[in-house]
Amino acid sequence: MSLLDRLPVQPTPAGYPMVQADKEDVEDLGLLKLDVLGVRMQSAMAYAVAEIRRTTGRLLDLDNPDHVDLNDRQAFEMIRASDTVGLFQLDSVSTVGVLPSRMHRARLAHGGEEPSSSHCVGT
């Protein structure tokens, strides 16, 4: 008997079975929950890096802070405005719903001032 026979599942848009439980319920069911970047997204990122190399000749190393700007002002402005559609790993419905309250707490922690971009994500 497989897990598909023991758990309520529904198909994802791509047709893969997905357990009908949120992250807390998964643990209550005694299942292991792993947050990993999906293989399809890893493939898409590898393809993008290869295309950058092919079209520009630039070798991009996503693990190298000299290659990836960790102080992207435009991205931080989008986060401040809770407008994260298109920002990788920040455009989910749950993230968008949490951002306004996190930004409010960040402002309170900074005496009512707008937090700087260096404090924006880790607040």
CB 68: neighbour CB atoms within 10 A? 11
The pLDDT of residue 37: 61
Nearest to residue 84, comparing CAs of 50, 44, 32, 120? Answer: 120
Domain boundaries, the chain: 1-35, 36-67, 69-123
Q: Which helix (H) or strand (E) holds 86?
A: none
Q: Tens of pLDDT along the chain (123 residues)?
A: 787 888 888 887 777 788 887 777 877 877 776 665 666 777 888 899 999 999 999 999 888 888 888 788 888 888 778 777 777 767 666 666 666 666 555 555 555 555 554 444 443
